[in-house]
Structure 1
Amino acid sequence: MLFGGVYSNLQALEQLKSIAESENIPPENCICTGDIVGYCAQPEETVQFFKNWNAQSIAGNVEIQLREGAEDCGCDFRKGSRCDGFSQLWYPYAQSKLSKNSLEFMATLPDHITFEYADKKVTVIHGSFENTSEFIFKSTPWERKQPSFKATKSDVIIAGHCGLPFYQFNDDYLWLNPGVIGMPANDGTPNVWYAILDDANETFNFKHHQLDYNHKLTSKLMQNGFLPEEYARTIITGIWDNTEILPAVESGLQGFVINF
């Protein structure tokens, strides 16, 4: 099971864990692409739940910044943008809520995870191999994806950070973003995304899945006077407040149902 961007969304994480258990996927085979902490209202509870689950995760830019005591989330938002302004609300909120134990747990998270699956070498990264905060989308030129394959000598890159699920083949190489479970994918539905690998017939197979969870509770908890109301609304509507970080192709797909 592959997923990313929990973003302090405890309700989505709880539901995902129950699906993993129903599918008999052990915790060590559940891998997060980073950013366990983020926009939602329960950073401490989410980190502790993740830790107790014993799932695996790499460090996203948020974990790196928090464990180092940095002043911002390191999301690489353009200074003065709406996303930058929102981060000045949710990031200090997360800092104020996290325990020493949670920060120590974040310090144990590796930058990358590498494993073999169905005769493929797979590496899990956050943005790109060289830049944790780099936004890589489906429309991003392959020339910007290629260095991550070369640096890791991998056949498959599992990546996160951009918030949108997608996959792209180039010859025998695969870039796979399972999506995030903490925020909708700007597709007009409150459901969120993850992916499952399958080695049936000894071949490398994968499938994206939507996750339906108690998003109304998540949104209600976010309406606490400390977090951006716009993000609480996105949890319900499935539409991002803005598309500042998106390339033109992905921006033009706002509100369109995602089909794989």
Structure 2
Amino acid sequence: MDPKIEQLEKVSGKALLFGGVYSNLQALEALKKIAERENIASENCFCTGDIVGYCAQPEQTVQLFKSWGAKSIVGNVEIQLRENAADCGCDFNEGSRCDDFSQLWYPYAQSRLSENSLDFLKTLPNNLHFEYAKKKVTIVHGSYFNVSEFIFKSTDWSLKQPNFDVTKSDVIIGGHCGLPFYHEHKGKLWLNPGVIGMPANDGNPAVWYAILDDANNQFNYTYQSLDYNYQLTSKLMQNGLLPKEYAKTIVTGIWDNTEILPTIEENQQGHPIEF
């Protein structure tokens, strides 16, 4: 078995998919309540990585995630933190606004995580693989080949297909890019549930996640928006140590810049997302 993949038992019943918690404790608390309301067991809750990120409560967020018992793979942020690296490993262009902002939020997070939290991050696998409704599923962060690769809906299928080939998967669940989407092609499905730590550049402070349902032994998925106490999240970020632009994004739902986005996604800024 490829050592990069942790093989799980067959998963059945409802499953919760989400990514990019980004140290947003209020969003994680709200999502946990959704899982409890939907009777989704913690072992059926899957995160695509980057539990830690832009917001103000990295330690509290990791500890809540740990106590909840949800499953996660590593994002680039977890890899960098547990290796005590000097930067977030997001693959931002040097000198870009995202790169400049990362020089604020990454050392902030680094300075506030306990050894206990870092030890927890070291337990997270690179990828998860399981069967769901007769489909072989692999969870990646960016891509199987590069944790920091930005894969969007508009990304050409020729760049997605090798992920299915090497993992022998029917479904890839991805993260990292910050936008929810699905892309089906010749019986294969790339599904990104979105992130809960930051809005999806759609002009709405609500964030995104997805729910799987195997009713009638079919692979069903639905996207849901999550309302949470974003005013508190934004207020906590206005501490003089984190980018004030990100605190604004939490409220407005609009990204400060679109440096990472392909033209198609860039042109969708401020447009409501519908599934």
Say which of 171, 187, 203 aligns to 2:186.
Answer: 171
| Distance in 2 between residues matched to 1:182 and 1:191, nearest whole Å | 10
Aligned position for 1:145: 160
Say which of 210, 218, 231 aligns to 1:203.
Answer: 218
- Report Cα offsets for 1:47-80 as digits up to 9, x if no partner: 0000000000000000000000000000000000
| Distance in 1 between residues matched to 2:167 and 2:218, nearest whole Å | 21
Q: CA deviation at 1:201?
A: 1.3
**Matching of residue 14 in structure 1 with residue 29 in structure 2:** yes
Letter in 2 for 1:211: L
| Distance in 1 between residues matched to 2:119 and 2:163, nearest whole Å | 28
Aligned position for 2:9: none
**Matching of residue 123 in structure 1 with residue 133 in structure 2:** no
The aligned runs of 1:56-71 (5 Å cut-off) are 56-71=71-86
| Distance in 2 between residues matched to 1:11 and 1:151, nearest whole Å | 37
| Distance in 1 between residues matched to 2:194 and 2:166, nearest whole Å | 23
- Report Cα offsets for 1:223-253 as digits up to 9, x if no partner: 0000000000000000000000000000000
Structure 1, unaligned stretches of length 5 or more? none
Aligned position for 2:119: 104
Q: Percent identity?
A: 73
TM-score, scaled to structure 1: 1.00
Q: CA deviation at 1:127?
A: 0.3
- Give SS of 2:52's match: coil
- Give SS of 2:43's match: helix
TM-score, scaled to structure 2: 0.94
The aligned runs of 1:149-228 (5 Å cut-off) are 149-228=164-243
Q: CA deviation at 1:200?
A: 1.1
| Distance in 2 between residues matched to 1:181 and 1:147, nearest whole Å | 28
Aligned position for 1:132: 147
**Matching of residue 78 in structure 1 with residue 93 in structure 2:** yes
- Give SS of 1:48's match: helix
Q: CA deviation at 1:165?
A: 0.0
| Distance in 1 between residues matched to 2:130 and 2:29, nearest whole Å | 26
| Distance in 1 between residues matched to 2:222 and 2:124, nearest whole Å | 26
- Report Cα offsets for 1:62-101 as digits up to 9, x if no partner: 0000000000000000000000000000000000000000
**Matching of residue 88 in structure 1 with residue 103 in structure 2:** yes
- Report Cα offsets for 1:122-158 as digits up to 9, x if no partner: 0000000000000000000001101110110000000
- Give SS of 2:254's match: coil
- Give SS of 2:22's match: coil
Computed over aligned residues only, the root mean square deviation of the Cα atoms, in angstroms, reads 0.3
| Distance in 1 between residues matched to 2:22 and 2:167, nearest whole Å | 27
- Give SS of 2:261's match: coil
| Distance in 2 between residues matched to 1:144 and 1:218, nearest whole Å | 36
Aligned position for 1:37: 52
Aligned position for 2:257: 242
**Matching of residue 230 in structure 1 with residue 221 in structure 2:** no
**Matching of residue 23 in structure 1 with residue 30 in structure 2:** no
Structure 2, unaligned stretches of length 5 or more? 1-15
- Report Cα offsets for 1:4-50 as digits up to 9, x if no partner: 00000000000000000000000000000000000000000000000
**Matching of residue 113 in structure 1 with residue 128 in structure 2:** yes
| Distance in 1 between residues matched to 2:44 and 2:165, nearest whole Å | 25
